[in-house]
Chain A
Amino acid sequence: MKKFIQYTAQALVYAGFAWFIGYFSNIPQYTRIPEDLALVKFSFAHGAKPKGECHTLTREELLALAPNMRKPRSCPRERLPVKVELKMDGETLLKETLIPTGLHGDGPSVIYKRLVIQPGEHQFHITLNDTDREEGYDYISQKTLTIAPGQSLAIDFKGSGIEFVYE
């Protein structure tokens, strides 16, 4: 009888542990973004124009360099920051000045932002400057999209910096 009780108790302990493992292996569920909302992921990696102009070296300047370093044109490494603004239905969702990456500031400017929005029809307006111009924009994109609940819209700047892509 004692053995029977012992084995029954062991079975209960095993069952309890199995329940613990089985339950917490996927319950309770987690909701990161409620299902009735939508998401805009705004991200790109884009290198702006170099800071300053390239210039042709004079003969004296070339001779001052080591023979294997004598390139006729010299361009600055450092890049300009990228200025970007995202508006949705006229409201600014994001406005950033993105400094270039890299120890010498010669890498691309990068951004990765997640923006939770209400689903429905929205007008997106994006402007981007990758030069040092004071007025106007280097790139403008405008698009009207209907976003479904639970949709994740990615906006990227693709094609060697040609255009914004909505996926």
Chain B
Amino acid sequence: MWIEGWIDHIFGQKWNPTYCLGALGYYYFWIVSISGIYVYIFFETGIPDAFMSIEYLTNEQWWLGGIMRSLHRYASDAMVAMMVLHIIREFAFDRYRGGRWFSWFTGVPMLWMVMIAGITGYWLVWDELAQYVAITTTELLDWFPIFGEPIARNFLAPSHLDSRFFTMMIFAHIFVPLFLLFIMWIHLQRVAHSTINPPRGLAIGTFLMLLVLSIIKPATSQSIADLSTIPSPVGIDWFYLWIYPLIDIVGPAWIWIGLLGGTALLLIVPWLPPAKKVPAAVVNLDNCNGCTRCVVDCPFSAITMQKRTDGMAFDQEAIVNPDICVACGICVGACPTASPFRRAGEFIPGIDLPGLSASTLRDKVERAASKLEGRPDRIMVFGCDKALRVDKFRGKGIATVSMPCAGMLPPSFIDFVLSRKLADGVVVTGCRRGECHYRLGQIWLEERLDGVRDPRLRKRVPRERVNRIWASATDGRMFARNMASFQGTLSDLKPIDHKIKKIKDGTEQ
């Protein structure tokens, strides 16, 4: 987290690459695809035509073909780097279990596909590295006693070589990435509002980086493959071929055990152990008017609309899939009926969290506020369970209430706190932009407070009394500093003057 904090300082929260590793992976995929199409136009599948055609691009047409080839290589290397970082980050932040198992699970076969696409790509160049890759790969595959004749025999001697083998390889090199693209689409099926493009500034920066690298250090071939010699030494692409030297060290059996065992382990990681199941959000039809805001805002597509079942005048009703719901409460924050001003009858919004109902949240707020002593800088902090622990800052005019996600907070709660004079100021805190554990909670809340997303913070709420301090678990000092500063600001403000009127249904305005 502190690394991401540092990168925030350098790139700003909007361009921070660690917040869009997956999107960067997609972006590199497109660079690889476009540059690959260009290289393919000139590629020939014969022997030694394959080598010669790549040499032509690299040397004769270095000003475009050579750059395209280099972009093809470096972007594919960068894609592997992004993929690995993406996996590590999602694992480290516990974003792979529960309702998120699907994205993790479908991401695992993508690792194989990217590796296969890369390995077949190196094979096609038919230089010494390609020779090494071809021989070692086929020897590794031959460990399985399923081939009638060892496929490594295809590379025994020059006379054994068949140009048609390259036709098969180019087919694999094109077909596997196409299938990868399909899996990439599946990968995001349960991710609502997914970001597959990095911010423009970052996209330009990273492309320029690859372009400069391609010009300064163009990708080149090694000597042409010759099966009557030993390819040695070979310049290995460690992003794709790291496993090859290991084959010589531990042998193919252990490599396969490692690869297949590692894949199986990765596939079952979301259930080792499974995420603690928390009760899913519940729709209360009596208060649901089918406005679809919860459907739109749910980060995991766990809510859908269906035809009304209770005979009320509305066309549709929301329905929650409990298997996908992660109980973040963002739907409650999106629900216009989750207003704490409601006093007529029981406070039950159209959609609610059984683990922390809107009614309980209101009770918590009132209880916490009641402990604040009479001073002009009382602050009610709405925190997020996944970010900085706000309870550590309780006392000295500070009351805290934490929720599963800051995005659960209906803006009307802020109005409620200030208009009821439960506190003199409100601080909203949660994961930093891009770090939100539930992906979109922080963004939605920001937009609601800015008045660009429903339900909006009412205009009457004095903005100078509302502060947002996005803080991860390691940002305690920064948070304390900002809190002290905000308390100072509040002390200098005039007392709040709100006129609250009651309307017919008992709701206070």
Main secondary structure of the interface of A (DSSP, over half): mixed
Q: Which of A59-102 contact B (CB under 8 A)?
A: 101-102
The answer on a CB contact under 8 Å between B213 and A34 is no
Contact A24 B234 (CB under 8 A): no
User: For the complex, what is the distance from the CA of A20 to the CA of B80, rounded to whole Å?
Assistant: 12
A9 lies within 8 A of B10 (CB):
yes
Nearest residue (CB) in A for B241 is A30
Partner of A167, one of B77, B149, B158: B158
User: Are A32 and B232 touching (Cβ within 8 A)?
Assistant: yes
Residues of A within 8 A of B129 (CB): 26
Task: Please indicate the chain B residues that have their CB under 8 angstroms from the CB of A35 in the complex.
Answer: 230, 232-233
Q: Bound state CA distance, A43 and B77, in angstroms?
A: 36
* Count of chain B residues near A, Cβ 8 A: 52
1/0 per residue B245-286: CB within 8 Å of A?
Answer: 100100000000000000000000000000000000000000
Whether B229 and A34, one on each chain, are in contact in the complex, defined by CB atoms closer than 8 angstroms, is no
Proximity bits, B199-213, A CB within 8 Å = 1, else 0: 000000110111011
Q: Give the CA-CA distance A27 to B129 in the complex, in Å.
A: 12
Pick from B148, B228, B230: contact of A102, CB under 8 Å: B148
Q: Which residue of B lies closest to A148 (CB)?
A: B229
Q: Cβ of A110 and Cβ of B81 under 8 Å apart? A: no
Q: How many residues belonging to A are interface residues under a CB distance threshold of 8 Å?
A: 43
Q: In the complex, are the beta carbons of B229 and A24 less than 8 A apart?
A: no
Q: Known contacts A41-B156, A43-B156; decide if A25 and B234 are in contact (CB<8 Å).
A: no
Complex CA–CA separation, A7 to B352 (angstroms): 45
| CA–CA, A34 and B230, complex, Å | 9
Contact A110 B150 (CB under 8 A): yes
Q: How many A-B residue pairs have CB under 8 A?
A: 131
Tell me the nearest residue of chain A to B205, going by C-beta. A14
> A-facing mask of B151-174, CB < 8 A → 1, else 0?
011001111100000000000000
**In the complex, what's the smallest C-beta–C-beta distance from B363 to chain A, in angstroms?**
45
- Find out whether the CB atom of A25 lies under 8 angstroms from the CB atom of B230: no
Identify which of B212, B219, B238, B239 contacts A18 (C-beta below 8 A): B212
The reply to whether the CB of B101 lies closer than 8 angstroms to some CB of chain A is no
Instruction: Return chain A residues, CB-CB under 8 Å to B139.
Output: 112, 114
A58 CB-CB contact with B under 8 Å: no
Q: Is A160 interfacial (CB 8 A cutoff)?
A: no
| Contact sample, A vs B, 24 pairs, CB 8 Å cutoff | A6-B12, A10-B10, A10-B11, A14-B209, A15-B209, A18-B212, A21-B213, A22-B213, A22-B216, A22-B217, A25-B77, A25-B238, A29-B236, A30-B236, A33-B232, A34-B232, A35-B233, A38-B230, A45-B149, A151-B229, A154-B160, A156-B156, A167-B158, A167-B228
B contacts, CB < 8 Å to A: 7, 9-12, 73-74, 77-78, 81, 129, 132, 136, 139, 142, 145, 148-150, 152-153, 156-160, 205-206, 208-210, 212-213, 216-217, 219, 227-239, 244-245, 248
**Which A positions have Cβ atoms within 8 angstroms of B?**
6, 9-10, 13-15, 17-18, 20-22, 24-35, 37-39, 41, 43, 45, 101-102, 107-108, 110, 112, 114, 150-154, 156, 167
